[in-house]
A and B are shown apart, each in its own frame.
Chain A
Amino acid sequence: MTQQDLAEAIERENTQLESIERRTHISLLRRLASLRLTLWLIALLAIGTILALRQEGARTWPMVIPLGLLAVNLLSAIATNGVFRRQTALLVFHLSLVALLLLVAAGRLTYLKGHAGVTEGTNFEGVLAEVERGPWHNGKLSSVSFVNNGFTIEYAPGLQRGATRNDVAWRDATGRSQRSVIGDQEPLVIAGYRFYTTFNKGFAPTFRWQGADGTAVFGSVQLPPYPMHEYSQALEWTPPGSEVSVWVMLDIDEVLLDREEHSTFRLPEKYKLVVRVGNERHEMRSGDTLSLNDGTLRFEGLRSWMGYRVFYDWTLPWLLAACAVAVISMGCHFWQKFAAKPWDA
């Protein structure tokens, strides 16, 4: 055998090996694209959904595994199944499902949700009481600010809550002042962060705290939500910069929300503010001051506070677009399919 024959034989063998390898890949892709597998994976996703519903702490993997496998199954089907090349609408529908999946994944990696309570007449300064965020969230909540200018809520007999109207003000990206009324169905949206009013709202005694060094700071105590916790309007509070713990209780001496009549959420006019420091009990009225070991506490008056649900997910408009494409393409696919032949043909 000459050297040239040997080279040709090696080349032939390589070509054969490549062909076998390609056939193996195609065979693997075809297996991954199996329609029977699709049905199993849809069933697995249903089981994962039930698991996720039942176990709040285990909602990620029961969904991620079947959805990931379905995506692989679908992409393999698109790569190997000629139906997708012949039926554009079907292809677009399935691609939009993949896009939805990717968008939901991106949303889960970058989302933020939390809660914040803002006292009337004060600023939201980017701090949340409870927060949950995706590992890649890099939004700028700390630069978001707005003022809660107060709210109105009507109640029907039986303490049935009506519409919430919350007056808010903020500066837009160009620095101009903006003002709006938000409430049910109407969030405040700043820099992609959406602020929703909630049923959590109540009263906030407001204090001026002057420490031993003479610096004065304003602060408010957001008492538990009203009327949900009507009979436990008390909270422990430490004035800013102080180490003294102050127990604050609002004792309301009037019916604010009548269960028998239509009424409106409002601040009480007849009330006592009970402040307890250690074993000492004090009743304070607006303007009263109380001297403590490391400063002076002055009661400035009672205000309301509103609890906001905060939500950030940049994928929302894209998700809607992907859904629209999915439904339209699915509709087109079925229309073409059914128009081609009557059902009783």
Chain B
Amino acid sequence: MTIIVSAIGQGLLWGVLGLGLFLSFRILDFPDMTVEGTFPMGASVTVICLVHGINPLLATLFAFLAGTLAGLATGLLYTKGKIPILLAGILVMTSLYSINLRILTKANVSLIGKDTIFSSHFLASLPASFDSVVLGVILVVVSICLLAFFLNTELGQAFIATGDNEKMARSLGIQTDRMKILGLMVSNGFIGLAGGLIAQNNGYADISMGIGTIVIGLAAIIIGEVVFGNLSLTARLIAVVIGSIFYRFVILIVLSLGFNANDLKLISAIILAFCLMLPTLRKSLRLNTLFEGGRTK
């Protein structure tokens, strides 16, 4: 039971990362590698703030702001420097490794004995693992509401249009470069926030905790899409979070089957690859009826 609750809590907190990645990966259609540097950056900033006794809420907010700066760097390299987006992300990701080491001062910093966002009286009074579920639900609901509001503003619509058809967006007078930068900043802001949350949940920040985060975020998005199919934009955001929880369950099942935890990254990649291939597999194996409960078209 505790394991399941813990998986849901983890899924919710990692869901924030999925939401951030959704903006770049699905709306802008960018393979943004910055993520792998932004996530530990958020974690490092939060942990160092907490070690220095800064208010946990403020420390978490700083993780978001740090993320937006990383997104800004990638966005400027891409739009003004005309560096391909994949390479721009890799450049920022690589440089963030050094920057994160500067922030953390060593490879691993523990939060033992420090106040975190989970130390509030209310959260601490909950049974084990329920704290991350409660906090996760609050954060995910707030994040989805904010994102849904943003996407339904004039600015948000211009942002979506930029990702959907850049040439058209320009021909309607939308400042497409600004939209891309904005999207990357908000996206990486949420990813930094996720890093700050996971670090507090784990009780430490580690320089290498970014490895494989893009796979986890993409898995949340893809699982959400595979399970729920076509949805409205706001519903897709919710699907990402549910996909993130499902991903945790899949990992849980895999581990309970006796696989070694050291193989987790390999397993994550295989799960994602499988989910990405599923639409093709469905077609070739005619699994439609199986997956859609026999609904006829």
- To the question of whether A and B form a pair in one complex, the answer is no
**Residues of A bordering B, CB below 8 Å:** none
**Residues of B bordering A, CB below 8 Å:** none
